[in-house]
Structure 1
Amino acid sequence: MQHIQGISRNQLQVSSLEDTISADNPVRFMDAFVNLIDLEKIGFQPRVLKTEGRPSFDSKVFLKIYLYGYLNGIRSSRRLEKECLRNIELQWLLEAICPNYHSIADFRKDNPKALKQLFKLFVSFLKDADLISGKTIAIDGTKSRAHNGKKANFNQKKIDKHLQYIEDKTQEYLSALDQNDVQENNTTITNIQQKIERLKQNKINYELLEEQLNASGEPQVSTTDADARALLVQGQVVEVSYNIQAAVDSKHNLVVATHTINRNDKNALSAIALEAKENLELETFTALVDKGYHNGRELDTCKQNNITTIVAVPDQGKSNENGTQPEYFVSKFTYNKADNTYTCPQGQILTTTGRWHKKTGRTEESGYQFQKYRTSACKTCPVKDQCTSRKGGREIDRSQYADAVEENHQRYKENQQLYRKRQEINEHIFGTIKRKWGYNYTDLIGLEKVNGEHSLIMLVYNIKRSINILGVPDLIAKLKTWNSPYK
């Protein structure tokens, strides 16, 4: 039986690296993009030439390595070093330069701010290339596991539990020592004393952790990565992680703004919305956002900055209106903006003295001001028992952000079809990054460095998607006509 025969390994061939790379290979665009930019102007730390020893590598070499690596699911510096030696595409891209893994790792670690700035620069290019409309932008977040395990994350409850365990164990061992005094078993006594000493040291460690927690003013502390936090991932599942925020344009589903935080979404809306507005230099745009971001303060900040929000209304859940029947919930009371009053379902007018009260507490919703509305008609109302259990009658609180919240709710009701596009715009991005590429955890420690890595991931996603939209030759052609501020 005949088979296709290969080329003899001893046969001499004459060819160049240029011949091995096709015109539509993504490495050609990476090469053109990086060579076009003055990396020092963006903020990349230059490699200083030394008077002795071998010359340093150009920063562009390391940036090309990481763009190629992240685009192909490789981010380990040791694996990237191997790829530089055996990968024909990287040999073409780097002109056969092969840095060691330590130098490769240092570049990513030392340039987090510059990587974030590079992402913003590429967004500017995409806008000039007419790949971004800037009219409708979907905002969402996803969790990325931190380089810090659950066992190295502590809150006050967890510390108290450990201290109580140490106290109980210590008492148990002391009781055992009393029994051994009668039996005169020296070996057992020595073992128990060693365990007590170990417990004493553990107690000191937890007490130091408690001091650190109190000094930080934070509800929790992590010992491996100080910036990592235990965040709710899904349902009741909690992971020590970071929260990647992303704003995605609706035209071609390209990321226009991104940053990483170490808290949940409740207070995150305005920061990512304003970043998107700044990156695209927009006067206004419409933001589609899920209910996890619903917060009066954030909605009001967006309103003040001319950003139109369509944020889903959270589920009401169990009513906290003390015995109130559904027909007398706050939503059934009509607010009269002209005279700043409420009209109840029975037609009575609730007024306010105009005094502002402040919401106190440590929750994310605390710190805002509100006014109280009451009416004396409650005393003689025949349905008072269905409306409230308060002796003085029904009382309604109106937040200083109520106008922005009500306007958002009205837009949400009127634009259901537009809001449903939110998932189509941004959900698949996180699916691609986390499920297909495997970037569901971070390699780095510290919020600033993690921000740099996630900016790099989003940059690579945008490069991949823009190549799929236009193709490499057309994208390079647009790159040549782009008036970059960092050439």
Structure 2
Amino acid sequence: MPESDSRWKEIEKKLPEDDHARIVERQVNRLDRNTLDLLYKGVGRDAYDPVPLLKIVLYEYLKGRRSPAAWEEEARINEAAQWLGRGYTPARRTWYDFRDRLGDAVEDLHQQTVHQAIEQEHLDPTMAAQDGTSIAACSSRHRMVNQETLQKRQAILQSAIDGSAAQEALPKWVPPTPNGRLDLAERMTTAAEVLAERICQNAAKRSGKRKDPEKIQVSLTDPIAPLGRDKFKVYRPLYTIQYLVDPVSHLIVSYGCEASPVDSGTLAPMIDKTQKITGGRLKTVLADGGYCSILDLRDAQERNVELIAPPSASGTSRRSKSLSGEDQIPREEFTFDASANSYTCPAGKRLAYKDREKMARQGGRHLYQFRYQCDASHCQTCPLRSRCLGGNGPRMIKRMEGEELLEAQRLKMSQDDAKELYRLRGQTVERSFGDAKGNRGVDRFHGRGLARARTETGLLTLAQNLLRLDNLQQNAANP
């Protein structure tokens, strides 16, 4: 259905200027299509034009329909989708294939949108707010297995593949077709590798943090997806997406999707990705306390980026009980002398350096925890003994390597200008997640595996940005 077709013109007359279909049409037409054309370069027979297909996909994302099966139906019955797709009605398999192909192009299309916004002065790349949210993987939360169950299932499946097991004796989870069984066998192999790695990581933890190996599980439908609790406290396979959002225009400057149930360890990779997109112009990042550990502060300093975030309070806010039953005198009342590498207690006694312990951190990194201890004779005769000691031994203070960065951050965040900047964070990135979950219906990925989850995150980000950029352009043209 070319644009000269009467049917196309008839549908066009029905669409208002602010319809999502018109917004997608004019915004995608401003992008360089070479990236899309390369997806099909030298591949088999003539393919559908990828530009109309992309327009339909982005329109469907804005409407909250993210399944390729839904796109196939919409292309047949939805007039707006027919107008965008110029009458294309690809088969369902074609839509699934197109989604997978887009993984190689969606990042470039996103960068084009950001560069366009910067050139038109709708986006200031010097400041952005970061946050993350968990999205359920395309996997059942009821089909997770431990190592023993996985090995039993692998043996049963192999007997079905070999033909050595009677068909009527096979359990219902065994696929009925040879291809289905081979596909499941491949996923089970991946699951076994992932599970072995998780068991190994668990064994490396301290005894107090270690889980029973029999309770460590993996999903068979999406083995790569880590297990964690989502926003509704449901334990399930999930992925975590990250946004860096401009606090003024609310455009998403960069995005990420990782196989991790937590936000820690994502600050530095997101800064690096944003600097690549913006040409190194990012100067300030607004974030919550989950992005303000000692390692995060180091990473930000090394990249010459100012981090506006409340420091992590782990290890400083806990209050132990003393011998008298009162709260123990907190560490904050002990004075640290960096030159002497020692603490001084409220009674004026010195806590000398004793030893250090290597503490594991996210991403295979580590920090040293230093321990300082007072002389036992001083503690036994001290007038503050009943309030200071928690046991029979002398008082000990623990200090993490690089803790001076947290102390400096606490001081900075107590200032009015930092507080004013920090208020922008919640008004910015939470709005983007609210739009994704509330208006676009993003509560679960539709494709299995990290690659597809990243593609879906990119398409969601592109759809959100095109809608917001169009609004900014219209407001600039008609203030």
**TM-score, with normalisation over the residues of structure 1?**
0.74
Contact 1:295 1:365 in 2 (8 A): no
Change (3 A) 1:412 1:68: same
SS at 1:352 equivalent: strand
Q: How does 1:203-352 map to 2 (within 5 A)?
A: 213-215=195-197, 217=200, 220-234=217-231, 236-263=233-260, 264-312=262-310, 313-314=312-313, 318-319=318-319, 326=327, 328-352=329-353
Per the TM alignment, residue 440 of structure 1 is displaced from its structure 2 partner at its CA by 0.9
Contact 1:136 1:249 in 2 (8 A): yes
Q: 1-side partners of 2:139 and 2:21: how far apart?
A: 34
Q: 1-side partners of 2:369 and 2:304: how far apart?
A: 23
Aligned to 1:383: 384
Contact 2:123 2:251 in 1 (8 A): yes
Q: 2-side partners of 1:161 and 1:103: how far apart?
A: 34
Q: How does 1:338-417 map to 2 (within 5 A)?
A: 338-352=339-353, 357-359=357-359, 367-376=366-375, 377-378=378-379, 380-389=381-390, 393-414=394-415, 415-417=418-420
SS at 1:82 equivalent: helix
Which string of whole-angstrom CA distances, capped at 9 and with x for unpartnered residues, describes residues 49-76 of structure 1? 646xxx3212223222211211222223
2:107 to 83, 96, 116: 116
Q: 1-side partners of 2:222 and 2:426: how far apart?
A: 32
Per the TM alignment, residue 474 of structure 1 is displaced from its structure 2 partner at its CA by 4.7
Contact 1:24 1:471 in 2 (8 A): no
Q: How does 1:451-470 map to 2 (within 5 A)?
A: 451-470=454-473
My pick for the range that moved more, 220-229 or 417-426, is 417-426
Per the TM alignment, residue 215 of structure 1 is displaced from its structure 2 partner at its CA by 5.0
Q: 1-side partners of 2:43 and 2:26: how far apart?
A: 25
Which string of whole-angstrom CA distances, capped at 9 and with x for unpartnered residues, describes residues 319-365 of structure 1? 35876954621222233345443332223343437x654225x8889
Change (3 A) 1:13 1:249: closer
Q: 2-side partners of 1:144 and 1:428: how far apart?
A: 16
Change (3 A) 1:136 1:367: same
Q: 2-side partners of 1:380 and 1:294: how far apart?
A: 40
Q: 1-side partners of 2:29 and 2:298: how far apart?
A: 43
Per the TM alignment, residue 426 of structure 1 is displaced from its structure 2 partner at its CA by 1.5
Which string of whole-angstrom CA distances, capped at 9 and with x for unpartnered residues, describes residues 97-143 of structure 1? 33222212211123324213322332222222222223442211111
Q: 1-side partners of 2:197 and 2:430: how far apart?
A: 38
My pick for the range that moved more, 237-246 or 12-21, is 12-21
Contact 2:265 2:362 in 1 (8 A): no
Q: 1-side partners of 2:334 and 2:364: how far apart?
A: 22
Contact 1:359 1:370 in 2 (8 A): yes
Change (3 A) 1:280 1:444: same
Which string of whole-angstrom CA distances, capped at 9 and with x for unpartnered residues, describes residues 374-429 of structure 1? 34344543223422346552222222231222222222222334323321112122
Q: 2-side partners of 1:473 and 1:104: how far apart?
A: 36
Contact 2:128 2:286 in 1 (8 A): yes
SS at 1:369 equivalent: strand
Q: 1-side partners of 2:301 and 2:151: how far apart?
A: 47
Q: 1-side partners of 2:290 and 2:300: how far apart?
A: 16
SS at 2:39 equivalent: coil
What 5-or-longer segments of structure 1 have no aligned partner? 1-11, 164-195, 476-487
Contact 2:264 2:362 in 1 (8 A): no
Contact 1:24 1:473 in 2 (8 A): no
SS at 2:244 equivalent: strand
Per the TM alignment, residue 456 of structure 1 is displaced from its structure 2 partner at its CA by 0.8
Give the RMSD, CA atoms, in angstroms: 3.9
Per the TM alignment, residue 431 of structure 1 is displaced from its structure 2 partner at its CA by 1.6
Contact 1:270 1:299 in 2 (8 A): no
My pick for the range that moved more, 306-315 or 322-331, is 322-331
The answer on 1:30 being equivalent to 2:24 is yes
Work out which of the two has the higher radius of gyration on C-alpha atoms and give 1 or 2: 1
Q: 1-side partners of 2:383 and 2:54: how far apart?
A: 74
Q: 1-side partners of 2:40 and 2:97: how far apart?
A: 12
Aligned to 1:45: 39
Contact 2:252 2:461 in 1 (8 A): yes
Aligned residues: 421
Q: How does 1:417-432 map to 2 (within 5 A)?
A: 417-432=420-435
AA aligned opposite 1:383: L
AA aligned opposite 1:275: K
Q: 2-side partners of 1:450 and 1:469: how far apart?
A: 29
What 5-or-longer segments of structure 2 have no aligned partner? 1-5, 153-168, 175-184, 202-215
Change (3 A) 1:22 1:434: closer
Per the TM alignment, residue 433 of structure 1 is displaced from its structure 2 partner at its CA by 1.0
Change (3 A) 1:215 1:300: closer
AA aligned opposite 1:370: Q
Aligned to 1:188: none
Per the TM alignment, residue 250 of structure 1 is displaced from its structure 2 partner at its CA by 0.7
SS at 1:464 equivalent: helix
Q: 2-side partners of 1:262 and 1:27: how far apart?
A: 33
SS at 2:409 equivalent: helix
Q: How does 1:50-65 map to 2 (within 5 A)?
A: 50=44, 55-65=46-56
AA aligned opposite 1:80: W
**TM-score, with normalisation over the residues of structure 2?**
0.75
Q: 1-side partners of 2:363 and 2:217: how far apart?
A: 15
Contact 2:291 2:309 in 1 (8 A): yes
